[in-house]
Amino acid sequence: MPVPEPIDRLGPLALRCPDPAVEVLHPDFLKLRLFSASVERLAGGLRWAEGPVWFGDGRFLLLSDIPNDRILRWDDCSGQLSVFRQPSNHANGHARDAQGRLVSCEHLTRRVTRTEHDGRITVLADRFDGARLNSPNDITGCRRDGAVWFTDPDFGIGGHWEGEPAAPQRPHGVYRIDAAGRLDYMIDDLAGPNGLAFSPDESVLYVIESRAAPHRRLWAWDHAADGRLSNRRLIVDADGPGALDGMAVDVAGRLWCGFGSNGAPGAEPDGLDGVRVFAPDGRPIGHIHLPERCANLCFGGAKGNRLFMAASHSLYALHVNTTGAVR
């Protein structure tokens, strides 16, 4: 299937500097804003953009277009968008493992897979205690111990839009696949676990609870060298209409979170769509406003200081004065 043409012009969305879309909520964010950097729209025409992951060795970005059942590739040299894999089993989140291989969450097959360097697909997880997983959603790899962590809500089995309807066989959860391939059920009490990430030193695990009521929440756990979690604590309580989704962490431990309106019927745009940036202690310090709700994001680019944002029907980018914790 050919990639649709972008629905509007590409390039910077603002003509003035500094870009008014990059909002400073606390003075700590000023040092992260580049005066002459603007939010850029790189591509459009997607049905629901998700799961961006940067491949610096090839200077390209992969991201999911879940309802269209494809993984797309955006090339940094040409600026072109092309199809990387279709069908993709309605893939959602992606990451790279410690060997640089693509690891993916697939809704349709309800599994986590790894793409080997020669293109073969290896199944890493599809069942736990004999029951099928729900619909693996987001994933983090590239860890020093070789482990892969992923969230497993039931979003992909609710209908035909992002997978196929099915009854869940497991509670929502967060799982860990160790370097030997062992699958462990690590967190069992979150409603809609979604984005997840580690602090730069891997001592803290962050997980977004996107179906918590009445507010979406971001939780943190201390993470031991053997994978055990302890000292659960609340970092962010999105106590307004904003909704948290995916996330990325920079080298200083700041949390860059996909953010947007909670989609109340008939509600007017409320200026929440985009990326909300939090200090490691949960204080909001900045907001990158986008015309669309942002689902997920990652750092990449030649210097690691370009923030790529998968937002509803488009891919956006912004250069910032920091780099991602995962390079």
- The residues carrying an active-site annotation are 245
Instruction: Please answer whether residues 316 and 42 qualify as being in contact, where contact means their C-beta atoms are separated by less than 8 angstroms.
Output: yes
DSSP string across 264-326? -TTPPP-S--EEEEE-TTS-EEEEEE-SS---EEEEESTTS-EEEEEETTEEEEEE-SS-BS-
Q: Is-contact 309 317, C-beta < 8 A?
A: yes
Say whether 194 counts as a known binding-site residue.
yes
Residue whose tokens read 């690691």: 304
Q: How far is CA 160 from CA 27, 69, 155, 165, 309, in A?
A: 45, 11, 11, 6, 25
* Backbone φ and ψ of 154, nearest 5°: -115, 25
| Residue 50 marked ligand-binding | yes
Residue 140: phi, psi to the nearest 5? -130, 135
Q: Is 292 annotated as a binding residue?
A: no
Find out whether 40 is annotated in a ligand binding site.
no
Residues 6+ apart with CB under 8 A from 173: 151, 152, 185, 186, 187, 188, 190, 193
**Binding site, annotated residues for a divalent metal cation:** 50, 194, 245
**Binding site, annotated residues for substrate:** 137
**Binding site, annotated residues:** 50, 137, 194, 245
